[in-house]
Chain A
Amino acid sequence: MLRWFGFKAAGAIVAAVGVVSATGVQAQEARYLASNCANCHGTEGRSAGGGGMPGLAGLSRAYFLEQMNAFRSGARQATVMHQIAKGYTDEQIAQLADFFSKQPVAGK
């Protein structure tokens, strides 16, 4: 029974594979898109917290949308986010807002 792939503890990510509904596919797409942010803001938006880099996990949908739009319009000053935010469509930003609002702040 020992398999080199079989050691993963149960209770982890099992929902993503197998039969996936239409909403499941959309959720998976949002998850893929959100990985763009992880390099700086942490995996699934959970930042290690150093240097004032904000985590995105658990931010309300409304707040996330408002801030991203403020970066895009220039209403909120930034070092880099005004440049990054302009790379994404309204629809993508809405997907990201949904995704991060549903992420737990603490790690799994």
Chain B
Amino acid sequence: MRLPQGAAGARVLAFGHYQPANVVTNDDLAKTMDTSDEWIRSRVGIAERRLASPGETVVDLAVQAGGKALAGSGLSAADIDLVIVSSCTSETPVPAIAPRVAHRLGVNAPGAYDINAACAGFCYALAAASDAVRTGSATNVLIVGAERFSNWVDWTDRATAVIFADGAGAAVVGPSDTPRIGPVVWGSAGDKADVITIENRHSYLRQEGQTVFRWATTALHPIAREACERAGVDPAELDAFVPHQANLRIIDALARKLEVDKAAIARDIVQAGNTSAASIPMALSRMIERGEAPSGGLALLFGFGAGLTYAGQVIEIP
């Protein structure tokens, strides 16, 4: 047996994102449930979120974001040989989303699979893509985080209905002469599996908010710090900090504890809500678009959520 050559490192060539057109404000939600704009902004930090149109599926969201990342990368569909989609809200258990995204983007017969690591999914997919490029399993990988929570949310449950939303973010990963995607740090706490659940196909999303909040604001910052250490980067050097957009107070607590002094901090949740696997690539894609994340700078991506599971890595911003 022999193994392919692979590449010395991997890098992100481009990000892309897609938000559905339908804007839902806090005032819109207050018409049908006992909540208010003031309550949502102070507890969670969200001002508005997007929900997919009827008939607009997770595959549709993924195709839009994937297409934008591909366009931004300067590559063509023919250059992609692996597609990985991270999602936990698909309408369709079988087939996976990735082969359908590949087909619709004109990518010819790539490796294609989905992963489900909830809100840590994009960072897991990024690690898989980076590893595939470095070992020679693939040359250029399209990764997508796409979620359609409107399939799974109980619109009478204000604990979840005000938080979760729809969207997709994507990236193209390719080879690099030097490492521009750092080593992943990952882990899980399966003892807390019951804390965030969609139990079966007829269920709604449920979460124990305070337990998640306590875990996220205490257990995670040492791990995020370790992701920096493994990459040989001091958190104070980071140009961007992009944690999963779960709750603005969690984001601020993590940033405070990590002491990311000069980093632009992703607060995309304000305009996007919590979009699980989509939240990190969407946030960074939009920060880059607005000129808040400098090309060539360093960003820490850190996802965490249902499982409970988490993963993160430092990358060079494309």
Q: Do A and B come from one complex?
A: no
- B contact set with A: CB distance below 8 Å: none
- A contact set with B: CB distance below 8 Å: none
